[in-house]
Structure 1
Amino acid sequence: MALTPPAAAQAPDTAFTRLLKIMDDLRENCPWDKKQTLESLRHLTIEETYELSDAILSNDLNEIRKELGDVMLHLVFYARIASESNAFTITDVLNGICDKLITRHPHIYSDTEVNDEADVKRNWEKIKLKEGNKSVLGGVPASLPALVKASRIQEKARGIGFDWENKSQVWEKVEEEMQEFRDEFNAEDDTMIDKDRAESEFGDLMFSLINYARFININPEDALEKTNRKFIKRFQHLEKKAQENGKQLQDMTLAEMDVYWNEAKKM
């Protein structure tokens, strides 16, 4: 017998209760939902997070709303699975994050005084250490993509005052790392290089560039993704124009391709 779906709600609390009821129905009655585990959902959650990221970068508010719903479903799903073994419930999850926010915002919920955002971040890291974290960098997930991880490492270090004083110092570091990277090979010929040393210097250069981006309030992950999208758009224009003119890219000269590429840059 078909179940009666809970009616749409107008208030946040009743809308959330509606989602919980639907999750219970699915977990108890749907063959696919009944089979899922914390592990089986993990890669799907990562995928949903990237889809949310895509929607944000596209500034598509309707898609952002939809993707937030998908992520919310996953959070409720994890809590439902955990409740079945009496590990924790969604109520535990919600109270846990509320308690954390209250504890880590003593300038709001206690008598701590702050002057700016930097003070808030420093207090946040100090409180985390008091809670048992052995290292300021301990909260940076090991599995984060390297570009994002570098940004988070630098932000964490800055939170306790380990940082450059001004951006000119950071730019000097960028130039220093660029020269050290260049010193590992001759850019004008094909001389053999020590790959390990060159890779190390390239990593140092990227880390310093990410650091400089932070000083001028540029998110390096967003910046690189926008460049990726720009390249894809221009390259697909190149492919389209070549096809319209009956040409194969692999048979065209670089000069011929540049004509279409420069067209795309003006679009």
Structure 2
Amino acid sequence: MRPIDHLLELMATLRDPVRGCAWDREQSFATIAPYTIEEAYEVADAIDHGDMAALKDELGDLLFQVVFHARMAAEAGDFDFDDVARAITAKMIRRHPHIFGDAEQRDAQTQTIAWEATKAEERAAKGHDSVLDGIARSLPPMTRALKLQGRAARVGFDWAEAKDVIAKITEEVAEIKAEIDADAAFERLEDEVGDLLFVCVNLARKLSVDPERALNRANMKFVRRFNHIEKSLESNGQPIGEAGLEAMEALWLDAKMLERQGDGR
């Protein structure tokens, strides 16, 4: 038996109304979706760490999620795992006519343009009227912002240069300051902070920086430097809650200096 067939059989057993697992039987698309998203992030984390053993395991976990959804759809009479495989195969063939059809060979840039054109045709065939249609609302907000901006940019709605975006960031910061000075309602502050974050994502896009990856690097940097503060204070027998901001900021700067020395700067 092929491994995939064994996995499909296992999933059917877990969902069996009589001899299956009570937890697995109770699940629905909605309850499983968060696990699917979590597994995708764990795949990305394994890749980020260059851990191939973990990547193998996490890809298996993600595949199990696909099998789980497909099994529930089969039980409802909508589609099964084979239909999923056929659909993605047909889509990839359709989007690669230069490989599987009679179109001319394309370089990476030309293929990207053609890929987006094919996706636009597919969206139109589904009745999507807007350029922005089809971007999942369930995506992480930063990722969705990036995709929305990219779609708009393809039809010319974009800043010419990154420095233009920086000017917009300055404008958005000024608007937040004005709302704070006016003692604005929370909703106004939330709107303005959202605008600032949206423009920051745009700056990352203009610089060809992945904002999710950049923020993740910033998160890890923060943890690393804050750990330095904690360890330094602990070595001096001082509780962190009693150190004070000035002392902690000095140790933060010390952590930055040590990092630069380690980088050879």
Counterparts in 2 of 1:241-252, with a 5 A limit? 241-252=232-243
Is the Cα–Cα contact under 8 Å of residues 123 and 134 in structure 2 kept in the other structure?
A: no
1:80 & 1:260 partners in 2: Cα distance?
A: 54
* Deviation by residue 1:224-247 (Cα, 9 ceiling, x = unmatched): 011012101221232233223221
Counterparts in 2 of 1:139-150, with a 5 A limit? 139-150=134-145
Q: What is the CA distance between 1:223 and its match in structure 2?
A: 0.4
Unaligned runs of 5+ in 2: 260-265
Is the Cα–Cα contact under 8 Å of residues 82 and 88 in structure 1 kept in the other structure?
A: yes
Structure 2 counterpart of 1:192, which letter? A
Q: Percent identity?
A: 33
Counterparts in 2 of 1:69-88, with a 5 A limit? 69-88=60-79
Is the Cα–Cα contact under 8 Å of residues 210 and 220 in structure 1 kept in the other structure?
A: yes
Query: Which residue does 1:136 correspond to in 2?
Result: 131
Is the Cα–Cα contact under 8 Å of residues 105 and 124 in structure 1 kept in the other structure?
A: no
Taking structure 1 as reference, are residues 123 and 138 closer, same or farther at Cα in structure 2, changes over 3 Å only? same
Q: TM-score, normalised by structure 2?
A: 0.80
Is the Cα–Cα contact under 8 Å of residues 174 and 205 in structure 1 kept in the other structure?
A: no
1:216 & 1:117 partners in 2: Cα distance?
A: 22
Q: What is the CA distance between 1:174 and its match in structure 2?
A: 2.5
* Deviation by residue 1:7-57 (Cα, 9 ceiling, x = unmatched): xxxxxxx22223223223333344233333323322222222232233233
Q: What is the CA distance between 1:70 and its match in structure 2?
A: 0.4
Query: Which residue does 1:38 correspond to in 2?
Result: 29
Query: Which residue does 1:10 correspond to in 2?
Result: none
Query: Which residue does 1:19 correspond to in 2?
Result: 7
Is the Cα–Cα contact under 8 Å of residues 80 and 89 in structure 1 kept in the other structure?
A: yes
Is the Cα–Cα contact under 8 Å of residues 154 and 211 in structure 1 kept in the other structure?
A: yes
Query: Which residue does 1:3 correspond to in 2?
Result: none
Q: Size of the alignment, in residue pairs?
A: 250
Counterparts in 2 of 1:37-186, with a 5 A limit? 37-113=28-104, 114=106, 116-132=110-126, 133-159=128-154, 161-164=155-158, 166=160, 168=161, 170-182=162-174, 185=177
Taking structure 1 as reference, are residues 193 and 214 closer, same or farther at Cα in structure 2, changes over 3 Å only? same
* Deviation by residue 1:74-128 (Cα, 9 ceiling, x = unmatched): 1101111221232211011111111122223333333445562442243233322
1:149 & 1:219 partners in 2: Cα distance?
A: 12
Query: Which residue does 2:182 correspond to in 1?
Result: 192
1:126 & 1:35 partners in 2: Cα distance?
A: 38
Q: What is the CA distance between 1:183 and its match in structure 2?
A: 5.1
Unaligned runs of 5+ in 1: 1-5, 7-13
Counterparts in 2 of 1:247-258, with a 5 A limit? 247-258=238-249
Q: What is the CA distance between 1:208 and its match in structure 2?
A: 2.9
Counterparts in 2 of 1:218-237, with a 5 A limit? 218-237=209-228
1:180 & 1:42 partners in 2: Cα distance?
A: 35
2:15 & 2:224 partners in 1: Cα distance?
A: 42
Root-mean-square deviation (CA), in Å? 2.8
Taking structure 1 as reference, are residues 240 and 180 closer, same or farther at Cα in structure 2, changes over 3 Å only? closer
Is the Cα–Cα contact under 8 Å of residues 23 and 76 in structure 1 kept in the other structure?
A: yes
Structure 2 counterpart of 1:123, which letter? A
Is the Cα–Cα contact under 8 Å of residues 146 and 202 in structure 2 kept in the other structure?
A: yes
Q: Which range moved further: 201-210 or 148-157? A: 201-210
Query: Which residue does 1:203 correspond to in 2?
Result: 194
1:134 & 1:112 partners in 2: Cα distance?
A: 27
2:61 & 2:202 partners in 1: Cα distance?
A: 33
What secondary structure is seen at the aligned counterpart in 2 of 1:136?
coil
